[in-house]
Amino acid sequence: MGKTETMKRFKGSMLIAIAVMIFGALVLPGAQAHAVSSAALSIVPKKNYTIEPGKSVNDTLTIRNLDAERDLELSLRVVDFTFTDDGGTPKLMLDEDAPRTAWSLKPFLSVPKAVKVAPNGSETVDMSVSIPSNQGAGSFYSAIVYSSGASDGGNVGLSASGVTLVFTTIPGEVNEDLQLRQFGAYHLNKRQYKYFNTSAPDALAYTLKNNGNVTAAPVGTITLKYMFGKEQDINNVNPNQSLALIGQERTFTACIKLKTQDVEFYDGRSRSTSCTTPTLWPGYYSLKMNLFYGQNGNRTQEVTGAGGFWYLPWWFIIAFIVAIAAVAYYSSKTYRAIQAKLYGGKPKRKSRRR
Amino acid sequence: MHHRLIRAHKLVHALHYAGPEALLSMVLAIMVFASPASAAMRFQERSLYMLSTEPGVTTSYTVSFQYMSQLSVGSVDLLFCDDPIPYHPCATPPGMSVANAELAEQAGETGFSITQKSANHLVMSRPLQMVTANAPSSYTFTNIKNPTNNDISFSIRLRSHASQNATGPQIDFGSVKGQTQTGITIQTQVPPMLIFCLAQEVAYNCTGTNDIYYSNMGELSPNSTLTARSQMAVGTNASGGFAITANGGSVSAGTSVIDGSPVPIESRPGTNQFGLNLVANTSPVVGENPEGEYANAVASPDYSIPDKYKFVDGDIVAFSPNVSLMKKYTVSYILNSRADLPPGVYSTTINYIATGRF
C-alpha cells in the first residue's frame, strides 16, 4: 500500500467519524450530557485589606463543597468589576479581553488557577496581594470568580459560579469627594424616593456621587422631625457599611426602624439587620443629615443635607376631606342661620331658574 | 341680643372673606420664620491619623485641625464616641481606652499638656493664649488603645474653650472620624460566607442536589411552548447580602438564533421566544414560588411576574440587600419557535453567578 492510498483511507475514516459525531449531536442531544462537577459551594463573599506600598499580604480562601457525592472542581480567575446601578451589586467584566479598569487589583492579586474539593470537604487555598513600592494611594478592587464546569448537553445547560470581592486600600493622601444628589424618604421594595407617601416609608435614603479616587463609606446621623416637634435620631445611617465605588452614584439606605436579631447560620450565630415598617403619624416630616467620611490620615469631610416628606395615608386623606366637608357644611349652615336671625325670614337659598 | 348678633355677624362676615388671606399669610410667615438658623465656627482641615488600625492594639493618634476663631484658647476637649454629633449622647467605642494617653508632639498652636483623662475623654490645657496659627495644628497622642470593633467607625468630638478646664462656652468645634480595619474574629459569630448551589433539583439548604445540570426541553413546535426548570438555593450571613446574575447567550443552533425576551412578556407560541422567571406560572404550568422564610431575599421584579418571561444576559435575577438565610428558587424556562425556524439542536448554557454585595 502506498502512502497516498493510506492517506486517502485515513481521510475517509475521519470524514465518517466526523459525520457520525455531527449526526449523534443532532439526533441525540441529551444522550451525552453529563455533569462535570458538583455545583454546591460555600465561599467568602468579601475580603478587605489595607496594604502600604512595597508590602504584601498573604491570606487564604476557604472553599467548601456542600455536595455529599461529587467532587467540586472549580477554576479560579480574577476579573475587574464596577457598579451595576446605584445599589451594591457588582458588574463583573467577564470577557477575556475586557479592558483593565483604573482601579484594577488584577496586577497585584495572585490566586491558584484551579481547586478540587472532595465531597463534603473544604480546601484552603493561598492568595496574596502585593503592592509595588511606587504605587500611589487609593482604592483598588477586583473579583475572584470560582466557576464550576459547564454541562455539555441538553437545550439549557447550567453552570454555577461564586465570587469573592477583594478590596484593597493603599494608604496615603487620596482624593475624596462625595457630592449629595438626593435625600429623602425611600421605599425599599420599589427602590424609589417619594415626597408624598400614602404608605409609610420604611427607610430614609441619600444618594452620593463619588468623584474621588477611593471607595467611601459614610457614617453620621439623620434627624427626623415631625411637624409637631417629635424628633428621632437615626445614628446608624450606613448599617451594612455599604461602599460608594469610584465614579458611582450610590444610594445608601438607613432604616427608620431597625430590627436587629441574631440568627443561626451554618452552625454559628450571625447578626441580621433589616428595616421594619415604622409607626408614623400623618403629616410632614423634616429631615436633617450630617455625614462624615475620610480615610485614615486624610481630612474628615462632611456632607450635610436637609429635606422632608409628607406621610398622608389614604385613610387620613379620606378622613380629612370628610372633616373639611363637615366643617364647611356646618359653618355655612351656622352662617345662614345667623343671617336669618338678623334679617328675618328663612335663610336665603339660591334661586333656581326654570 | 339682637345687637350682639349683629356685631357677631359683622365679625363673622369679615372673617368669612378674610379667612383665606389670613391662612395664606400664616403659611408664608411660617415658611419665612421657620427656616433653621445656625451660627457656628467649625474647626477646618480636620483629620485623624491612626498609626495602626488593627483592632484592640495600643498605638498613637495624630489629630489635626485648624482653629477658625481668632480668640484666646485655654483648653481643647477631645471626647471619643461612636457618634460624631456633638449634642448626641456619647457611647464609648467598645474596647477603646485613652486613659493612658500621653501628648507626645504638638505643632501649630502649642503649649498644651493633658490635664484630664479617662477611658474616652482627654482635656488638653495651656495658659490662656490668643490663636495665631493660620495653618492646621496637630497633636500626637501615644498609648491609645484602638476599639476592638471593626464593624463601625468611631469619632473624636473636638471643642475649644477659653477656660483651662474645658468648661464654659465653646469657641470652635468639630469631629474627626476613624475606623479599625483588619479584623480579629469574633469567636461567637461565624465568618461571612456565601452558600450557593444549582442543579435541576436542589435541597433547600444545599446539602444535596440531583446532580443534573441540563434540561432537555423536547421538540420545538410553533403550536406549543417547551418548558424546563432548574433550582438554586442561596444564603449569606454577610451584611451586604447577595445577588445572583444569569449570564449566557441566546438559544441557538449554528447561525440560527432564538433571542431572549428583553422585557417580561407572556409566552407566545408561534414566535421565536426564550425567557425565564422565578415564580409559579399557570401559562404554561411550570415553576414554583421561592421557598424560605427570609423575606428580604427576593426575585428581581422583572423575573417575579407570574406568566411573564424575560432573559437578558447579565441581569440580576435574585438578590438580598442584607443577611439572608437560605432561600430556594425554582427557575422556569420557556422556549417558543416560529414555523419557519431552521431545524437543528437549539441550546444555550446559563451561568448563574452568586456574588456578595459591596
For the record, the C-alpha cell of A285 comes out as 416630616
Closest alpha carbon within chain B to A268 = B190
Q: What are phi and psi of B305, to 5 degrees?
A: -100, 115
Query: What span, in angstroms and rounded, lies between the C-alpha atoms of A259 and B235?
Result: 19
Query: What span, in angstroms and rounded, lies between the C-alpha atoms of B155 and B268?
Result: 60
Q: Do A155 and B346 touch (CB under 8 A)?
A: yes
Q: Which residues contact A206 (CB under 8 A, 6 or more apart)?
A: A180, A182, A183, A222, A237, A251, A252, A254, A289, A291, A305
- Confidence tier at B96 by pLDDT (50, 70, 90): very high
Q: Are B97 and B85 spatial neighbours (Cβ–Cβ below 8 Å)? A: no
Residues B94 and B230 grouped into a single domain: no
For the record, the C-alpha cell of A143 comes out as 473579583
Residues B126 and B150 grouped into a single domain: yes
Flag whether residue B214 sits within 8 Å of chain A, measured between CB atoms: yes
Residue B31 lies in a domain: no
Residues B115 and B256 grouped into a single domain: no
- For residue range B280-300, what is the model confidence (pLDDT) as tens digits? 999 999 999 999 877 788 999
Query: What span, in angstroms and rounded, lies between the C-alpha atoms of B122 and B115?
Result: 8
Closest alpha carbon within chain A to B180 = A296
Residues B113 and B160 grouped into a single domain: yes
Residues B150 and B199 grouped into a single domain: no
Q: Please, what is the Cα angle at B324 between B319 and B325, to 5 degrees?
A: 125
Looking at the partner chain, which of A29, A36, A155 has a beta carbon nearest the beta carbon of B228? A155
Residue B203 lies in a domain: yes
Q: Do B335 and A241 touch (CB under 8 A)?
A: no
* Burial class (CB within 10 angstroms; exposed 0-12, middle 13-18, buried 19+) of A182: middle
Residue B185 lies in a domain: no
Q: Are B162 and A4 spatial neighbours (Cβ–Cβ below 8 Å)? A: no
For residue B307, is pLDDT > 80? yes
Q: What are phi and psi of B6, to 5 degrees?
A: -65, -45
CA B82 to chain centre: 18
Question: What part of B 191-210 touches A (C-beta under 8 Å)?
Answer: 191-200, 202, 206-209
Residue B186 lies in a domain: no
Pick the last residue of a domain from B146, B178, B210: B178
Looking at the partner chain, which of B6, B195, B349 has a beta carbon nearest the beta carbon of A157? B349
Q: Do B177 and A298 touch (CB under 8 A)?
A: no
Alpha-carbon distance A5 to nearest alpha carbon in chain B (angstroms): 34
Residues B129 and B232 grouped into a single domain: no
State the residue for C-alpha cell 493664649: B129
Alpha-carbon distance A64 to nearest alpha carbon in chain B (angstroms): 9
Residues B248 and B293 grouped into a single domain: yes
The SS3 of residue A322 is helix
Residue A311 is predicted with a pLDDT of 96
Domain count, chain B: 2
Q: Are A163 and A145 spatial neighbours (Cβ–Cβ below 8 Å)? A: yes
Query: What span, in angstroms and rounded, lies between the C-alpha atoms of B263 and B240?
Result: 28
Closest alpha carbon within chain B to A167 = B358
User: DSSP letter string over B217-247?
Assistant: -----TTS-EEEEEEEEEEE--TT-EEEEEE
| Sign (positive or negative) of CA dihedral A37, A41, A46, A47 | negative
- For residue range B39-69, what is the model confidence (pLDDT) as tens digits? 458 899 899 999 988 889 999 999 999 999 9
Closest alpha carbon within chain A to B178 = A296
- The CATH number of the domain holding residue B162 is 2.60.40
Residue B191 is predicted with a pLDDT of 78
Q: Are B145 and B93 spatial neighbours (Cβ–Cβ below 8 Å)? A: no
Q: Which residue has the higher pLDDT, A323 or B3?
A: A323
Residues B128 and B258 grouped into a single domain: no
Cis, bond preceding B20 (omega within 30 deg of 0): no
Parallel, antiparallel or unpaired: strands B214-215 and A156-170: antiparallel
Closest alpha carbon within chain A to B4 = A342
- For residue range B144-172, what is the model confidence (pLDDT) as tens digits? 999 998 767 899 999 999 999 999 999 99
Crossing angle of helices A314-343 and B2-33, in 10° steps, is 150
Alpha-carbon distance B161 to nearest alpha carbon in chain A (angstroms): 21
Q: Do B237 and A293 touch (CB under 8 A)?
A: no
Residues B345 and B271 grouped into a single domain: yes
Name the range with the highest mean pLDDT among A343-347, B26-30, B85-89, B162-166. B162-166
Residue B104 lies in a domain: yes
Pick the last residue of a domain from B178, B205, B226: B178
Residue B321 lies in a domain: yes
Q: Do A296 and B178 touch (CB under 8 A)?
A: yes
Taking every pair of C-alpha atoms in chain B, what is the biggest distance, in angstroms?
A: 101
pLDDT in tens, chain A (354 residues): 455 565 566 555 555 555 544 444 443 433 344 445 788 999 999 998 989 999 999 999 999 999 888 889 999 999 999 999 999 999 999 998 899 999 999 999 999 999 999 999 999 999 999 999 999 999 999 999 999 876 666 788 888 999 999 999 998 989 999 999 999 999 988 889 999 999 999 899 999 999 999 999 998 889 999 999 889 988 888 888 899 999 999 999 999 998 888 888 877 777 777 888 899 999 999 999 999 998 888 989 999 999 999 999 999 999 999 999 999 999 999 999 998 888 876 555 555 554
Closest alpha carbon within chain B to A293 = B177
Q: Do A300 and B46 touch (CB under 8 A)?
A: yes
Range of B225's domain?
A: 194-356
Alpha-carbon distance B122 to nearest alpha carbon in chain A (angstroms): 20
Flag whether residue B296 sits within 8 Å of chain A, measured between CB atoms: yes
Four-point Cα dihedral B61, B66, B67, B69, nearest 10: -160
Average pLDDT over chain B reads 87
Q: Do B189 and A158 touch (CB under 8 A)?
A: no
- For residue range B336-350, what is the model confidence (pLDDT) as tens digits? 999 999 988 899 999
Alpha-carbon distance A354 to nearest alpha carbon in chain B (angstroms): 31
Closest CA to B197 of B223, B230, B164: B230
Q: Do B5 and A341 touch (CB under 8 A)?
A: yes
Query: What span, in angstroms and rounded, lies between the C-alpha atoms of B351 and A257?
Result: 38
Query: What span, in angstroms and rounded, lies between the C-alpha atoms of B208 and B231?
Result: 12
Looking at the partner chain, which of A43, A151, A270 has a beta carbon nearest the beta carbon of B213? A151
User: DSSP letter string over B42-62?
Assistant: B-EEEEEEES---TT-EEEEE
Residue B75 lies in a domain: yes
Flag whether residue A130 sits within 8 Å of chain B, measured between CB atoms: no
| Sign (positive or negative) of CA dihedral B72, B78, B84, B89 | negative
Pick the last residue of a domain from B147, B178, B209: B178
Parallel, antiparallel or unpaired: strands B113-118 and B121-130: antiparallel
State the residue for C-alpha cell 477659653: B162
Residues B85 and B220 grouped into a single domain: no
Residue A223 is predicted with a pLDDT of 93
- Order of strands, edge to edge, in the sheet holding B170-178? B113-118, B121-130, B72-81, B154-161, B170-178
For residue B357, is pLDDT > 70? yes
Q: Do A268 and B189 touch (CB under 8 A)?
A: yes
Q: Are A65 and A140 spatial neighbours (Cβ–Cβ below 8 Å)? A: no
Which DSSP state fits A108? G
| Percentage of residues in chain B having pLDDT higher than 70 | 86
Flag whether residue A231 sits within 8 Å of chain B, measured between CB atoms: no
B-chain residues within 8 Å CB-CB of A94? Answer: 247
Residues B174 and B246 grouped into a single domain: no
Residue B136 lies in a domain: yes
Closest CA to B346 of B260, B268, B229, B281: B260
Residues B211 and B346 grouped into a single domain: yes
Residue B32 is predicted with a pLDDT of 42
Q: Do A239 and B239 touch (CB under 8 A)?
A: yes
CA B353 to chain centre: 22
For the record, the C-alpha cell of A213 comes out as 479616587
Residue A58 is predicted with a pLDDT of 93
Alpha-carbon distance B111 to nearest alpha carbon in chain A (angstroms): 23
For the record, the C-alpha cell of A81 comes out as 468589576
- If one counts every other C-beta atom within 10 angstroms of the C-beta of residue A135, the result is 17
Residue A32 is predicted with a pLDDT of 40
For residue B124, is pLDDT > 50? yes
